[in-house]
Structure 1
Amino acid sequence: MAQSAPTGRRLQHIGEAILVIFGAYLAANITKAATDPLVISLVGSVVSTNIVGITQTAIQLLTIIGVVALYLRVVDTDRLVRLMLPTPRSVGVIVGGTLVLLGGQYVINQLLQWANFSPGANQAVTAGVGDPLYYLLMVPVSLLLVGPAEELLFRGAVQGRLRESWGRWPAIILATVLFGLIHIPAVSGGFGAQLSYALLAGVLGLVLGYLYDYTQNIVVPSVIHGSYNGTLFALLYLGEIGLL
């Protein structure tokens, strides 16, 4: 079906993909701005600035999930996001996929350093320097919100929609490119550092995209993504408290 899809339909789906990403992040930022006074008044006086930031991040991620749910309702199809309880095979894919991402991140970082490139640091990482509790709390946030929100958006809505007209691999690659580009604004450093980070995120996104297509279950890349991020934050936490 994808091979015979007309050009107009392919362009429409690319337009939809860009709009749903833009809409999700715009809505997340608007919601954050609207709820900032309430969040600060409720918890800002009793917790650290970073805990307030985590609360705001959680609100943004929940908003992204809400936008994706609305998009799926508008397009009125149950083919984009397939969700089910993991099978024993899927559990194995989750474990293996998480290890592949962690190993891939290490190898890519080493190659970039060898080529005299250093990926910039994500602001979600630099925010916790000197605050081990922040890193510890980001572990469950990664598992419960970051993984599900980003995978529902990029692998579910975007990749799923593009697959209908572009086919399997073009959809995976296009969704991955968008996934890498959207991370650039959150990266500190110059253009080279941002580009290196986007490349790293893109390569890891290819793995997530392939595994979603392979398992046809959005739970799989969501848990892998959350476990990958959560593991990195756990290692940062151990480093902050002097155990690494």
Structure 2
Amino acid sequence: MSDTAQVVDGDGDPGSSAFVPTVGTVLSAITVAALLIPVRSGADDPALLVAAAGALLTTGAFVTRRHALLERRVAGSIAAGSSLLVVFLSGYVITQGVLGSVVVPGLDWSISLLFCAFFVAAGSVGIGVAERAGLSSRGLIARLGLTGEILVLAFVGLVGISIAALLLSLPVRLLAGEPTELQLTVVEYLSFAVGLGGVAVGYLAFRGRDLSFIDLKAPTLWTIGWVVGGLLVILGANMGVSALMSAVGIEASEHTTTQRVAENPDLLLIIIPSMVLFVGPFEELLYRNVIQKSLYERFSRPGAVVVGSVVFTLVHVSAYATAGAGQILASLSLLFVLALILGTLYERTENLLVPALVHGCYNAAIFIPMYF
């Protein structure tokens, strides 16, 4: 089945034409409420007001489609576009320190309504795309099921790293006693290879696939061209997005590794080569070759790149968790853009070597200036 056929099919469920817009209506209505409550409470940022208007437009598009008053592609396009606007604007407001927090009755803890609006609107983008593509209820549920499975796999990868680090540190503790920070850093990056590699191979076995699923090809001059070009694009995107954030007053948070290096520069002797040898290759093995390629079963290739990039971004939340909510969101937004580039490189070349080298060299390039 072609990529287009995978997406634009009815999945044999002609009686469910109202299901997708109904789901979209519910999500967009939640987004409207999450945006308007802070407005009523005194939040007067113009971006927040425009975001609320965008959420209302999304709701209108889904409602009119549900009653067959708009053509499917038109309604889906309007819903996806206006929801994407809500994501950008609510994210911007969050980075400016406006969270719209409310206390949950009876639980004595608060939630950020703007974060709810941000994530629910992101879901509405997907539902809008699904409506435009003509997915049935079964088609949508199948894609959501695969996305959930892949998200679990991604977080299992984090657990795999932790377990590998624990097991690899045992010989060090037995032979040398309490390990130094340098020794622990060596163990940490070796655990990327063991943990992520083990989880990737385990998932392939669970799905009845062998190592031929891994797209690893011998390098050629064409491969080198993709790596060099990809590295230039990803570095340029980093500088461009960072400059844009600075221009609009958005401050990103520092990666926890950057903070450690500031306290102990000698760690760079381990970190820089490890980025190329372990982090880049094994993160790309799991998150691109296994996760993104598995998403091809249900999503179009561009859709798989986007969903895989979202998953990759979510699993990195803890790496930026030392800063405020707005700074974390800004950093993750930049990471998402970089993940899209890596996903596109893998999709275009179908060679794990390309995103692995670009990822590893990019990470190393970030840390190299700190060595001098």
Q: CA deviation at 1:213?
A: 0.4
Q: Which amino acid aligns with 1:201?
A: L
- The total of aligned residue pairs comes to 237
Match of 2:368 in 1: 234
Match of 1:71 in 2: 203
Distance 1:80 1:8, change over 3 A: farther
TM-score by length of 2: 0.60
Q: Which amino acid aligns with 1:211?
A: L
Q: CA deviation at 1:175?
A: 0.6
Matched residues in 2 for 1:193 and 1:216: separation? 34
Matched residues in 1 for 2:175 and 2:359: separation? 31
Could you tell me whether the CA contact under 8 Å between 2:165 and 2:188 is conserved in 1? yes
Match of 1:225 in 2: 359
Q: How does 1:90-129 map to 2 (within 5 A)?
A: 90-129=223-262
Structure with larger Rg: 2
Does 2:364 match 1:213? no
Q: CA deviation at 1:220?
A: 0.6
Distance 1:52 1:152, change over 3 A: same
Matched residues in 1 for 2:337 and 2:213: separation? 22
Could you tell me which runs of 5 or more consecutive residues in structure 1 were left unpaired when the two chains were aligned: 239-244
Could you tell me whether the CA contact under 8 Å between 1:177 and 1:202 is conserved in 2? yes
Distance 1:103 1:144, change over 3 A: same
Matched residues in 2 for 1:31 and 1:70: separation? 14
Does 2:158 match 1:32? no
Q: What is the percentage of aligned positions where both structures have the same residue?
A: 30
Structure 2 residue corresponding to 1:189, chosen from 311, 316, 323: 323
Q: Which amino acid aligns with 1:177?
A: V
Q: CA deviation at 1:73?
A: 2.0
Distance 1:73 1:237, change over 3 A: same
Distance 1:170 1:43, change over 3 A: farther
Does 2:276 match 1:143? yes
Matched residues in 2 for 1:211 and 1:168: separation? 12
Matched residues in 2 for 1:200 and 1:230: separation? 17
Q: Which amino acid aligns with 1:174?
A: V
Structure 2 residue corresponding to 1:164, chosen from 297, 301, 306: 297
- CA deviations over 1:44-96 (Å, ceiling 9, x no partner): 65x74144233223224421111101111221336753111122111101011
Match of 2:104 in 1: none
Does 2:166 match 1:19? no
Could you tell me whether the CA contact under 8 Å between 1:44 and 1:52 is conserved in 2? no
Could you tell me whether the CA contact under 8 Å between 2:143 and 2:299 is conserved in 1? yes
Could you tell me whether the CA contact under 8 Å between 2:287 and 2:312 is conserved in 1? yes
Q: Which amino acid aligns with 2:150?
A: A
